[in-house]
Amino acid sequence: MSPACCRCAASSSTGTSAARGRTDPAGSRSWSAPIEERIGAAVARTPVDQVLVHRLYDRDPVGSWSRGAATLLGDAAHPMLPFIGQGAGAALEDAVVLGKALAGAAAASEGERAARVEAGLADYERARVTRAALFVKESRRAAAIALPRSAATRRLRDALFPLVPESARLRHFARLLDWSP
């Protein structure tokens, strides 16, 4: 990175550039006016080949992550948008639960091991599917709040959000953060 270079990030749910076939960071004008002008000018001066676009994907929650002696965890099992910051935490929770669910399989006899692994994977799914689906759904809700398409909705969000008591916001997230294996 040269001394005259800077790094910035922009989020947009609109602003697709047909000419470039990708999302244009300058297409979103959700920042306050003074900041918007400065960031817009910086983005406008950035050569197109130096603009990186990273699309975000998730999928609807699924009820099963395992087949036979194979399973998924983390983003492979429950990809989520980054708007509640729980993707890595959910993967770590998966690992803890999966480790406990498979603990007995290693000590089993060779003849019993396959059955114990499959039973452990079923236990892992039962313990994790509902909670992981909650993270996926909450991430989508947070994305809808963070990246509304209309300017009117953004203004309404910006006006109402400060009115929500901190205690209410903390209560809402407590169910996501309060977990023990």
Q: What is the mean pLDDT of the chain?
A: 83
Same domain, 40 and 78: no
**Count of structural domains, the chain:** 2
Same domain, 94 and 154: yes
CA nearest 14: which of 157, 145, 149, 143?
Answer: 149
Answer whether residue 85 is part of any domain.
yes
pLDDT at 26: 47
Q: Is the pLDDT confidence value at 134 over 60?
A: yes
pLDDT per residue over 41-54, tens digit each?
887 888 888 877 78
Answer whether residue 60 is part of any domain.
no
Range of the domain at 164: 74-177
Q: Residue 135 in contact with residue 80, Cβ under 8 Å?
A: yes
Q: Residue 76 in contact with residue 127, Cβ under 8 Å?
A: no
pLDDT per residue over 62-79, tens digit each?
999 999 889 999 999 999
pLDDT per residue over 14-34, tens digit each?
444 333 344 444 444 444 567
Same domain, 86 and 145: yes
Answer whether residue 37 is part of any domain.
yes
Same domain, 46 and 110: no
